[in-house]
Chain A
Amino acid sequence: MNLKLDYVLRETASNFRRNITLTLATIITVTISLTLLGAALLFGDAVDNATVRWKDGVEFIVFTEPEISPELEADIRRHLEDSPEVSGFTYIDKDEAYAEVQDLLGDSPELVEVITPERLPASFRVKPSDTLPERVDELAAAFRAQPGVARVVTASETIRAIEDLSSGLRQRVIIIAIVLLVAAAVLILNTIRMALFSRRRDIEVMKLVGATNWFIRVPFMFEGLVQGLIGGVIAFPLIWLTNNFFSVINDDVTLELLRGFTVDPSRVWTLGFQMVGLGAIVGTVGSGIAVTRFLDT
């Protein structure tokens, strides 16, 4: 094909200058789409982190004393098995609790280091047969009095609401993501097509003197790539801001049960880079398609 870098750069630069408003419109669209998508995915992660303990109908958790004797633990287990209001329970031992913490804080090794399995309490995650809040509270109170129990934590209505949200959230996030991305791609496609329309004479001449389709296409694809990249790079700090908003929620003492509603910083970095990459792909592919349609007609 014999494409020259200086030719591609020169063409891209002149396209940028000539269609500055269209270029800005595209970059802004990409930025907004990627920011919303990134924020939605982060929110999904945060909800997951906050509600990981409250999956599958678990309504309250009985934490045992760290130094509990096997007999007392067996008593609690028997109490749970015998009680008709309990439809099921899962026992999480110290090692499992530790594994879960590792999962949550996996990207902050310095935090994981200070936690050892011995320091974590074992727990029972209890599914009551009746999930009415008052009945759950009564049941939880009965266990709170049990010897060997350190504390009992119930799922508050807030958590319950968030959990309900979380069950459908993944799907919804994916749908929103697809819609936003398609919107961004269509806009890039449209921008490039308008840019092409203003340059149809150039393209006519290029075809006339025997330029190959790829030769015509590559500068436009490069332009789309640059637009997507810029959009992604601007979206990056905006996604960080979203994450800061989460820590504001987290610092609010009244929302104690939302503790864990946070996303690890390295996850934000990864997501940010993914969004930049996605912007680049959407930009390149979108403009490639736009040019192809122009070349065929």
Chain B
Amino acid sequence: MIRMENVTKVYKGEVLALQNASCEVQRGEFVFLVGPSGSGKSTFMRLLNKEEKPDRGRVFVAGRDIGKLPSWKVPFLRRNIGCVFQDFKLLPNKTVVQNVAFALEVIGSPRSVIKSKVPAILELVGLSKKMHNYPDELSGGEQQRVSIARAFVNRPLILLADEPTGNLDPNTSLGIMTLLDRINRTGTTVVMATHDRSIVDKMRRRVVELDRGQIVRDQSRGVYE
């Protein structure tokens, strides 16, 4: 599903974010990306949805070399990749249901599809009762659930989560992990960057460790360190 071949990314000619990194992720896998800040985790993710271009090497998503993708097709690549962030990136002036529907609206989904899919996904993340609340009326965990609903409503092949539990307390984090695990079980490939040792140790999934831009460990059913 994802393959990186000898990828190097240097910012502004001096900051080495990734160095000759190669990695392959199969369909349906759940992968933790771990490593200290600045080790290249975010760059790894940004390369996958072509927010960044590699300086050297090639990136394949769903069997296609995305370096060869013309820029007008990039939006269509992104429709297959859901993204979740530490800071949720919800639109504050839209309600929960509007935030999720927005993701379908802007890719031109018919209204009938939006009407059926949005309540279903909110049911899945357990927010049916708060559909018409605004983000600032929700707890952090609930906001992250909305953000996951938005990323997953379009049933992407891949879900990228960049420290999704970074702002949440341990209990809430566990709830989010259960949700991501359920999404993974539907066949969605999940790549999650995290600093959360207890979560990684508890889940016992594949762990890829980055250090100063290099992949220093790749372990199935691994632990944080």
Contacts and interface: CB of A to CB of B under 8 A. Distances in A.
B154 interface: yes
Contacts of A210: 75-79, 106-107, 154
Given A201-B89, A201-B91, A202-B91, A209 B108 contact: no
Given A202-B91, A210-B78, A7 B105 contact: yes
A209 B107 CA distance: 8
B85 to A, nearest CB: 9
A209 B91 contact: no
A209 B78 contact: yes
A206 interface: yes
Contacts of B200: none
B83 interface: yes
Size category, A interface = 10 to 19
A3 interface: yes
Contacts of A204: 89
A208 B89 contact: yes
Interface in B37-95: 49, 72, 75-79, 83, 89, 91
Contacts of A215: 106-108
A207 interface: yes
A207 B77 CA distance: 11
Given A3-B108, A7-B105, A215-B106, A209 B79 contact: yes
A207 B89 CA distance: 12
A256 to B, nearest CB: 65
B33 interface: no
B75 A211 contact: yes
A78 interface: no
Nearest to B150: A209
A212 B108 CA distance: 10
Given A3-B108, A207-B78, A212 B72 contact: yes
Interface centre among B103, B106, B107, B108 (most CB of A within 10 A): B106
Size category, B interface = 10 to 19
Contacts of A201: 89, 91
A20 to B, nearest CB: 15
Interface string A211-236: 11101100000000000000000000
Given A3-B108, A7-B105, A206-B106, A212 B75 contact: yes
A187 to B, nearest CB: 26
A205 B76 contact: no
Contacts of A3: 108
A206 B107 CA distance: 9
Contacts of A7: 105
A52 B32 CA distance: 83
B134 interface: no
B35 to A, nearest CB: 23
B89 A209 contact: no
A1 interface: yes
B102 A205 contact: yes
A205 B89 contact: yes
A4 interface: yes
Nearest to B80: A210
Nearest to B82: A209
Contacts of A2: 108
A213 to B, nearest CB: 8
A205 B79 CA distance: 12
A282 B32 CA distance: 51
B136 to A, nearest CB: 14
Nearest to A18: B93
B78 A208 contact: yes
Contacts of A207: 75, 78
Interface in A1-37: 1-4, 7
A205 B91 contact: yes
Contacts of B49: 208
26 contacts: A3-B108, A4-B105, A7-B105, A202-B91, A205-B91, A205-B103, A206-B102, A207-B75, A207-B78, A209-B78, A209-B102, A209-B103, A209-B106, A209-B150, A209-B151, A210-B78, A210-B79, A210-B107, A210-B154, A211-B75, A211-B106, A212-B72, A212-B75, A213-B72, A213-B75, A216-B106
Task: Please name the 9 residue pairs, one residue from A and one from B, whose CB atoms are nearest each other, closest first.
Answer: A2-B108, A210-B79, A211-B106, A210-B78, A209-B103, A210-B75, A212-B75, A206-B106, A210-B107
Interface of A: 1-4, 7, 201-202, 204-213, 215-216
Given A202-B91, A210-B107, 13 more contacts: A1-B108, A4-B105, A201-B91, A205-B103, A207-B78, A208-B78, A209-B79, A209-B102, A209-B107, A210-B75, A210-B106, A211-B75, A215-B107
